[in-house]
Amino acid sequence: MDKYVIATDTFDQVNGVSTTYKNILKVSKRDIEIIHPSQFKYKSFKSYPEIQFCTEPIKVFKKIKAIKPTHLHIATEGPIGMAARIYCKFYKVPFTSAYHTKFPEYLNIYFRLPVKFGYFLMRLFHKKSNAVLVPTNSCINDLKKFGFKNLALWTRGVDKELIKKRINQKPNKKIKVLSVGRIGKEKNLDALCSLHQYFNITIVGDGPELENLKSKYSNINFVGYKFGKELAELYSKHDVFCFPSKTDTFGIVIIEALCNGLPVAAYNVTGPKDIVKNKITGFLGNDLKKNIIQCSDLNKTEIQQVSIQKWSWRECEKILFNNLLRIN
């Protein structure tokens, strides 16, 4: 009998990795055991309090050993991912892994660790993986430049609860701009916030930069985390979605916005450029203000219809297990 294990260093937090695996569990009919930090002792950090850094990797190893998985997927490169990686090597268990986050860039932003060294460590971690699941083609191309092998494209989806039917209408006199996600330095939210005099901006989320941005931009609406129908309502009430990050590998909030008919304004970088059809479902380029203004004229009902058909969590689950099963 097949035993599936997913090992991840984030699950209870609000981020793209957690969203991915929670939705896989929701749609899958397979017997899956997920191993995550809340099952062990963990430590958080002042600069990144959402992180649950597991301090009991030996217990993680023992828990995996007790399960004796036939198929193992390593979601992240933290202590739990490393314990799973060592287990696979010790017991010669084939595994797949996933590349969700540009940790080398984040480590450079927060700790000034050289980006090339960060990718060297990441490449070592994923070296023996039978398939490294990557969210976009441009991300695959980036990783190839750093010597990564066995890369496979892995799509994402949108929960139906997050979608509200869009009625196409003219934008408000002052364009209403929405941004959703973690509020940290790596998300480049200052680039959006600096446009506060031109647009009516709402930011959904929390993080270490929240108080700093609140103090600098008093006329921006910071509403904290929102979920489900409440978040769908916010998507439906805005004219444009802005994704100012230059470091994300994908951006699930981008496809949530598109599935709610919101055109996306972003930079032409990995993540947005793989999802947004320039001049059709959004505008990409170096001028964020111009992108937002141009987005406001796009047809929102058409954007929603096209996007809903494309993004599926069932397809995401299918790709994951197709890669796991072919390594038997």
Which residues of the chain does CATH 3.40.50.2000 include? 4-157+312-325, 160-310
**For the segment 66-102, what is each residue's pLDDT rounded down to a tens digit?**
999 999 999 999 999 999 999 999 999 989 999 998 8
Please tell me the least confidently modeled range out of 32-36, 50-54, 180-184. Answer: 50-54
Domain 160-310 has CATH 1.10.340.30: no
| Contact predicate 108/118, CB 8 Å | yes
Predicted confidence band of residue 286 (pLDDT cuts 50, 70, 90): very high
What pLDDT sits at residue 67? Answer: 96
Cα(311)–Cα(291) distance, rounded to whole angstroms?
Answer: 24
| CATH number listed for the domain at residues 4-157+312-325 | 3.40.50.2000
What pLDDT sits at residue 61? Answer: 98
What pLDDT sits at residue 108? Answer: 87
Q: What's phi and psi for 306, nearest 5 deg? A: -65, -40
Torsion sign across C-alpha atoms 108, 112, 117, 120: negative
**For the segment 212-248, what is each residue's pLDDT rounded down to a tens digit?**
999 999 999 999 999 999 999 999 999 999 999 999 9
CB burial of 249-262 (b: ≥16 within 10 Å; e: otherwise) equals: bbbbbbbbbbbbbb
What pLDDT sits at residue 327? Answer: 63
Q: What is the mean pLDDT of residues 59-65?
A: 98
Cα(17)–Cα(100) distance, rounded to whole angstroms?
Answer: 7
Burial of 179 (0-12, 13-18, 19+ CB in 10 A): buried
Rg of the chain's alpha carbons, rounded to an integer?
20
pLDDT at 192 over 90: yes
Tell me the residue type at 2. D
pLDDT at 49 over 80: no
What pLDDT sits at residue 34? Answer: 97
pTM for this entry: 0.89
Distant-in-sequence, close-in-space partners of 182: CB < 8 Å, separation ≥ 6: 14, 15, 50, 205, 206, 207
For residue 323, the surrounding DSSP H or E stretch is: helix 313-325
Q: What's phi and psi for 111, nearest 5 deg? A: -125, 5
Residue 90: helix, strand or coil by DSSP? helix
What value does the mean pLDDT of the chain take? 93
Whole-Å CA distances, 253 to 158, 199, 205: 9, 20, 11
pLDDT at 288 over 60: yes
The whole-angstrom distance between residue 46's C-alpha and the CA centroid of its chain comes to 22
**For the segment 110-140, what is each residue's pLDDT rounded down to a tens digit?**
888 999 999 999 999 999 999 999 999 999 9
